[in-house]
Amino acid sequence: MREWDLPLEGFAVRVRESGQGEPILCIHGGPGMSSGYFFPDPDVWGPGLRALAADRRVVAYDQRGCGASGAPDVEQPLALSRHVDDVESVRAALGLERPIVLAHSFGSVLAILFALQHPERLSRLILLGGAPTRAFMAGYREAVATELPPDVQRRLAEIQSGEIDDAAMRERFRLALPLYFHHTLSDQERDSLLSVVSFSGAVNRAVAAGLENYDLSAALPHIRVPSLVVYGASDRVVQPAYQLEFRGRLLTARFVEFQESGHFPFLEEPEPFARVVHYFAAHGGR
């Protein structure tokens, strides 16, 4: 994997990429996280999205204001709509002709809006750990209340009641990590993952305002590119029932469940995940 800065109008975006071939443009989650978790330490986590790079050019970038990416000096520089515009700006600047767009978690919202605005700019759409409405938060709150220790629940409630800054975002993610994975993380796995992810409370607060009651259901039938919805059976952050709300709405979609994964199938089952993506890339239009 290599990292470099891509200059856009008024700011630079940090790009991470691996492999060669037909491109896959990856949009990370958050809002307010960075894309480092796509490519964690392979000695601890295995290949991550590098498993796709044997046959594809895998490109990820830190969204504006996140990680090592800047933000331009304009009005409302961190608004949700500007993040959607950046998907097209990054695609065009990198010269990616109709890439597969792979979006994780919150990134699925950006990818859906991008596909609606620029249907001719992508060839396939892969949604991983996302949901068409904000209803998934009810499942997350239930998981917090039933699966995490009382002291962790109290601390998460304290964090949520205050202003979310960078440190609060990191702590919230760390405390909730058991809900993200099928297997129990070792200390080494936890620390390794946290070491490659940064957090921006400013981005989280700015984008959350535009997501408070989002519902993409009515728009989904207008997406015509072949689509794949991937979910982990043990995901308690965006539970499978909420991800399956794409069924009957995203009319071009196929669905694949990874039974030994949570919110990050490309970390827990990277090789099977890569096989599914490669198959979809080759045959998803049939």
Tens digits of residue pLDDT in 120-177: 999 999 999 999 999 999 999 999 999 999 999 999 999 999 999 999 999 999 999 9
Residue 156: the pLDDT is: 97
DSSP 184: P
CATH topology of domain 2-283: Rossmann fold (3.40.50)
Left if phi > 0, otherwise alpha if psi is -120 to 50, otherwise beta: which for 229? beta
Long-range pairs for 147-154: beta carbons < 8 A, 24 or more residues apart = 147/178, 147/179, 147/236, 148/175, 148/176, 148/178, 148/179
Q: Whole-model pTM above 0.95? A: yes
For the chain, domain boundaries: 2-283
Left if phi > 0, otherwise alpha if psi is -120 to 50, otherwise beta: which for 207? alpha
Q: How many residues does the chain have?
A: 286
Question: Which tens digits make up the pLDDT trace of 64-77?
Answer: 999 999 999 888 99
Q: How confident is the model at residue 261 (pLDDT cuts 50, 70, 90)?
A: very high
Structure tokens at 74: 């304009």
Determine the 3-state secondary structure of 212 from DSSP: coil
Determine the average pLDDT of the residues in 247-256. 96
Residue 209: the pLDDT is: 84
What does the alpha-carbon distance between residue 108 and residue 243 come to, in Å, rounded to a whole number?
A: 11
What does the alpha-carbon distance between residue 283 and residue 281 come to, in Å, rounded to a whole number?
A: 6
Structure tokens at 267: 């970390």
pLDDT at 3 over 80: yes
SS (H, E, C) 213-274: CCECCCCHHHCCCCEEEEEECCCCCCCHHHHHHHCCCCCCEEEEEECCCCCCHHHHCHHHHH
Q: Based on the number of CB atoms within 10 Å of its own CB, is 12 exposed (0-12), middle (13-18) or buried (19 or more)?
A: middle
Determine the average pLDDT of the residues in 168-194. 98
Structure tokens at 159: 């964090």
What does the alpha-carbon distance between residue 53 and residue 113 come to, in Å, rounded to a whole number?
A: 26
